[in-house]
């Protein structure tokens, strides 16, 4: 090719492509079912087809894209059942994370969780949806990490990525913000007193509600937004 990659980001070209394409899928910029033309992507990112192919292969292994031999790749399109199955899995995984967090978080982790959670109450009052979404991602990531189990963390984050395209705009639903915070509150309280079972149930319940909220979008509509905001269970 020609000059250096514009994005100075780390890793090989393939890694950059995986991130770049993956981000566009996760953020909804590329919509489920959309065709991923190797030549176009190569041109778009100013690389040859080889790294694009490798990236698509890896994304396929991650489940974000679907590859039909000799027929090109598309952004993974999931059936209604599979979507439900993923939300269900997410609920179970979050429950595990919350339960483990309640049992295993260090004092520091608990404190940090509590502080952030309390701070976020302000965002709810202000109705700062975008900011709350950032916080929300953070909150859940804390739970995943707090489980102190690398593999559970990987499974959970992976599932979250695959659900992300179907989660956009969930905070648009009126009142969702306050409800989300209250649900978080139940989880945090349970974790603070080390009650794993309660934390697990609360987390599972929390995701289930998000799932129902998201079902609205899954039915018919595909996500439309193109922001770069990461996404998590509300």
Partner DNA sequence: CCGGAGGCAATTGCATGCACTTTTTGCCTT
Partner DNA sequence: AAGGCAAAAAGTGCATGCAATTGCCTCCGG
Binding residues for DNA, rule: CB under 7 A, are 1, 12-14, 36-39, 47-51, 53-54, 67, 69-73
Cα torsion 140, 145, 149, 151: sign: positive
What angle do helix axes 80-104 and 176-192 make, rounded to 10 degrees? 40
Q: Which is nearer to DNA, 38 or 92 (CB)?
A: 38
Phi, psi of 220 (to 5 degrees): 90, -80
Q: What gap in Å lies between CA 29 and CA 24, rounded to an integer?
A: 5
- Residue 71 binds: one of DNA, its own copies, none (C-beta under 5 to 8 A by kind): DNA
The CA distance from 216 to 231, in Å, is 17
Told to check if 72 binds its own copies by CB under 8 A, we report no
Q: 71, 150, 219, 220: which one contacts its own copies (CB under 8 A)? A: 150
8 A C-beta contact, residue 178 and residue 124: yes
Instruction: Let me know: does 38 contact 25? Beta carbons within 8 Å.
Output: no
49 or 122: CB nearest DNA: 49
What does 89 interact with, of its own copies, DNA, none (CB < 5 to 8 A by kind)?
A: its own copies
CA distance 186 to 206: 10
Residue 200 in tokens: 């697990």
How many CB atoms within 10 Å of residue 113?
A: 22
Q: Contact between 151 and its own copies (CB under 8 A)?
A: yes
- For residue 150, the partner it binds in DNA, its own copies, none, with Cβ less than 5 to 8 A by kind, is its own copies
Give the nearest distance from C-beta 31 to DNA in angstroms. 17
63 contact, one of its own copies, DNA, none, CB 5-8 Å limit per kind: its own copies
Length of the chain: 234
Site for its own copies contains 96 (CB under 8 A): yes
> What is the distance between the alpha carbons of residues 47 and 55, in angstroms, rounded to a whole number?
12
Tokens standing for 123? 């965002």
Cα–Cα dist 35/160, whole Å: 22
Site for its own copies (CB under 8 A): which residue of 7, 39, 43, 61?
A: 61
Closest to DNA by CB, 49 or 111:
49
211, 148 in Cβ contact below 8 A?
no
Q: Which of 159, 170, 211, 214 binds its own copies (CB under 8 A)?
A: 159
CB 60, min distance to DNA, A: 10
- Selection from its own copies, DNA, none that 81 binds (CB < 5 to 8 A by kind) is its own copies
Binding site for its own copies (CB under 8 A): 11-12, 14-15, 50, 53-54, 57-63, 69-70, 81-82, 85-86, 88-89, 92, 96, 149-152, 154-155, 159
């Amino acid at each position: 090719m020609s000059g250096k990659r514009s994005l100075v980001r780390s890793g090989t070209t393939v890694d950059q492509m995986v991130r770049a394409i993956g981000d566009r899928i996760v953020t909804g910029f590329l919509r489920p079912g959309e065709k991923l033309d190797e030549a176009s992507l190569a041109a778009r990112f100013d690389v040859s087809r080889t790294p694009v192919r490798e990236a698509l292969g890896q994304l396929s292994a991650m489940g974000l894209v679907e590859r039909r031999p000799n027929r090109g790749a598309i952004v993974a399109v999931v059936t209604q059942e599979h979507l439900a199955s993923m939300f269900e899995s997410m609920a179970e995984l979050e429950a595990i994370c919350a339960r483990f967090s309640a049992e295993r978080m260090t004092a520091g982790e608990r404190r940090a969780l509590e502080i952030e959670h309390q701070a976020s109450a302000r965002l709810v009052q202000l109705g700062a949806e975008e900011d709350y979404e950032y916080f929300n991602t953070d909150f859940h990531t804390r739970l995943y990490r707090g489980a102190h189990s690398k593999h559970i963390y990987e499974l959970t984050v992976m599932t979250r990525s695959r659900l992300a395209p179907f989660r956009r705009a969930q905070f648009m639903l009126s009142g969702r913000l306050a409800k989300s915070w209250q649900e978080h509150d139940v989880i945090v309280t349970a974790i603070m007193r080390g009650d794993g079972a309660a934390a697990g149930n609360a987390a599972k319940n929390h995701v289930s509600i998000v799932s129902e909220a998201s079902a609205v979008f899954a039915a018919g509509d595909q996500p439309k937004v193109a922001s770069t905001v990461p996404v998590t269970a509300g």
